[in-house]
Amino acid sequence: MVDPVARAQGRVDELRWLLHDLSAACEGVPGLARPAGAVGAPGSWTGSAADRLHRDELAPAAQRLPRALDAALQAVRDELAHAERTLSGARASARDDLDAR
C-alpha cells in the first residue's frame, strides 16, 4: 500500500510539471489575431469572399484559441490547488497519527 503522503506528493509533483509544460507550450503557440486581421485588410486579398472568411472563420478562431488555452491552464491550476490541499491534509493526518502513538 502506498503511503497517502507520498501518493499526494506525487500527484502535486505531476501537476506542477504539467502546469510548467503546458505554460511553456502555450507561450509557443502563435497568435491568430495578426493572420486573421490580414485577410480582407486593405492591400491584401479583398472582396466579399475574404470578408466572409475573416468574419466567419478566422476572427472567431482567433478569439477562441486564447480562451481555450487560458481555460486549460486554469483547470490545471485548480487541480493543483486541490492536490496541494489534499497533500496538506495527508501530512496533518500523518502527524496526528505519530502524535497518537
Residue 12 confidence (pLDDT) above 60? yes
Helices (H), the chain: 4-27, 33-38, 48-53, 59-100
Task: Record the pTM.
Answer: 0.72
Q: What percent of the chain has pLDDT over 70?
A: 84
CB 40, CB 56: distance < 8 Å: no
Q: Which of 56, 52, 31, 25 lies closest to 40, judged by CA?
A: 52
Average pLDDT of the segment spanning 63-89: 94
Please write the tens of the pLDDT for every residue from 70-79.
999 999 999 9
